[in-house]
Amino acid sequence: MTAYRDQYASLFNEGQNVIVMGISNDAVPELQAWLKDADFPFVFASDAANDGATYTAFGGGLRANNMVDARSVFVIGPDGRIAGAIPQFNQADPMAYEELAAIVDRVTPEPAQQ
């Protein structure tokens, strides 16, 4: 996520018309401390109760054991609807970021030509 933070302006068109939101089952205080230290321009939410309510409210499902996936990423498009989701976001897998970039590219309008 730090690579995306560092390239946020170019990758996400300065964040215009798209919201990248991560949901994890990290405890709120831990998540807040990590976000403050990392200075992310993204939205993050905690489903620390581990009942899946936050995750399923955004269209995610539960694993077979009724546990939410550790981390999920949702892209909210210009129309305010979920444009794409990565239900099992593996932050160590470069392919996860390519998948995220593809979703964002699909819903982010190109900057106006001058």
Which domains, from first to last, does the chain contain? 2-107 (3.40.30.10)
The rounded distance, in Å, linking the Cα atoms of 77 and 68 is 23
- Token pair recorded at residue 29: 């205080």
More confident residue, 66 or 93: 93
Question: In sequence order, which ranges of the chain are alpha helices (DSSP H)?
Answer: 2-6, 8-11, 28-38, 53-57, 94-107
The rounded distance, in Å, linking the Cα atoms of 12 and 21 is 13
Residues 29-73 have pLDDT tens digits of: 888 888 888 887 778 888 776 666 776 676 665 555 555 456 788
User: Looking at the predicted structure, is the pLDDT value of residue 2 above 60?
Assistant: yes
More confident residue, 2 or 44: 44
Which of left, alpha, beta for 74 (phi over 0: left; psi -120 to 50: alpha)? beta
